[in-house]
Amino acid sequence: MPAVFDLNGIYESKADSRALRFPDLEAFEKHWEAQEEEIKKDASAHPVLRAARCAEIVQWYVHHLNEDAKDALKAKSTVLPKMAAFDPLVATSNASANTKAAYATSYTCVNGHNNTESNFNATDSKYPFWPKEVTYNATGFGPYPFWLGPVSADISQGVGIQVWWSQPKQAEKFAHASCAMTNAGYSKNDVPCVQLMLQGASYFYTAAEDFCCISGKAPVCENKCDVTGECGSPAGEKCSALVQKYSCADYYAPGKAYAGWCDKECGYGLCANTSAPVPSGRKLLQDQAQVLTAVQYDWMRDMTLQGTSDNYVGTYYSGSVKNYTMDCSGQDGCGPGNFYIWYLTDMNDRPIEQGEGCQIMPRTSSCQTGGSYLFHQYNPATWKETTHDASVFAVPDICKSTTSYCMYP
């Protein structure tokens, strides 16, 4: 696995959570052998561990292979696995602790950004659960974008953030005053940016709307041949013509040589019993391991209320806070080292701060283990329950035609 481990050293040196969980192939093989033994003991672990391994493979492809290595795989017609949607119910299932841990570590960021729940439009009567729609201002500290590689960030210097969030529209938009946009492929750094997270896709773009990349893409029903133009001889034949010469059952069905290439035409995969349209003008990309959406209204429910912390001092609020924390540390967590996600409220359960990193306090600009340290502090005076017009979450024209990607892990 030389192409993988060449880039892994960069992630390890920055204590980036995208670093591989083991240092060499031998260690991975031992890990996989242990999982096979787990399946022998409990057959129900198979689909969970299979989904976890698929997620990890796609993460390697996106973040550990350079373009030459990816081109080499494409030349061999290598097909990456399709990604199953993250299932939060695994955490409360009867699966073993090892199986749950393997699953959680392969979907590291979706716990709070996974608005596919059936009760999305439900709402509890009071805080800390969020109301249906809000807008607020905050000050952000730490690297941004945090998922596209190392960013030099002094956490003592905050930048302005404005956020629009909607429960019924399943949407969230972050406007950041300063962003490291060259990591996304833009020509300049320290420019205002916007992250727009919708139910089916996410977009990362400059506030000037002269650059946009796709940061999230949900699985869709499509004909891979039609989208890529890579099929047939000469290339460019559509599935409607191909299936006349090569039957769906013999060539394009699951397990066959060209499985996944004509799913919409043949009714396989995500296209089984559906007529979902293929988004126009979109370049095909293998489904990412984590499709992040807006946060759930009750996203802190997955955390543990640690009690009250006194003498909190922030940009907008000082005093006692309630501390909700998720410990996601270690190789079997969000690691590879220490990693915590936290959410602080005032004593009336209104939001004060949220963040993630190798520790909560004291603050640090350099995590030696775990992921990057970043947080934002809410301005309570600007927290407003409101009703958003659909135009607030409209996709800019530059994003509708973009073929650039800056995907989450």
pLDDT of residue 23: 73
pLDDT of residue 355: 93
120 has a pLDDT exceeding 50: no
Greater pLDDT, 335 or 131: 131
Q: What is the pLDDT of residues 185-208, one digit of tens each?
A: 899 999 999 999 998 789 999 999
Query: Given pLDDT bands bounded at 50, 70 and 90, which one contains residue 276?
Result: very low
**Residues 234, 331: Cα–Cα separation, whole Å:** 47
pLDDT of residue 286: 40
Which of 35-49, 105-119, 168-182 is predicted with the least confidence, judged by mean pLDDT?
105-119
Report the length, in residues, of the chain.
409
Instruction: Tell whether pTM > 0.75.
Output: no
Residues 6+ apart with CB under 8 A from 155: 141, 142, 363, 364, 365, 373, 374, 375
pLDDT of residue 369: 65
**Residues 406, 409: Cα–Cα separation, whole Å:** 9
Strand pairing category for 159-166 and 384-385: unpaired
| E strand or H helix at 177 | strand 171-179
DSSP state of 250: I
Q: Enumerate the domain spans of the chain.
A: 2-106, 133-219+290-393, 224-271
170 has a pLDDT exceeding 50: yes
User: pLDDT exceeding 70 applies to what percent of the chain?
Assistant: 73
What average pLDDT does this structure show over 182-186? 90
The SS3 assignment for 182 reads helix
What average pLDDT does this structure show over 157-170? 93
17 has a pLDDT exceeding 70: no
Sign of the torsion formed by the C-alpha atoms of 358, 363, 367 and 371: positive
Class in CATH terms, 133-219+290-393: mainly beta
Greater pLDDT, 144 or 3: 144
Greater pLDDT, 333 or 16: 333
Q: What is the pLDDT of residues 375-408, one digit of tens each?
A: 999 999 999 999 999 999 999 999 988 878 888 7
pLDDT of residue 81: 67
Greater pLDDT, 171 or 77: 171
Which of 280-284, 292-296, 324-328, 341-345 is predicted with the least confidence, judged by mean pLDDT?
280-284
What average pLDDT does this structure show over 123-136? 85
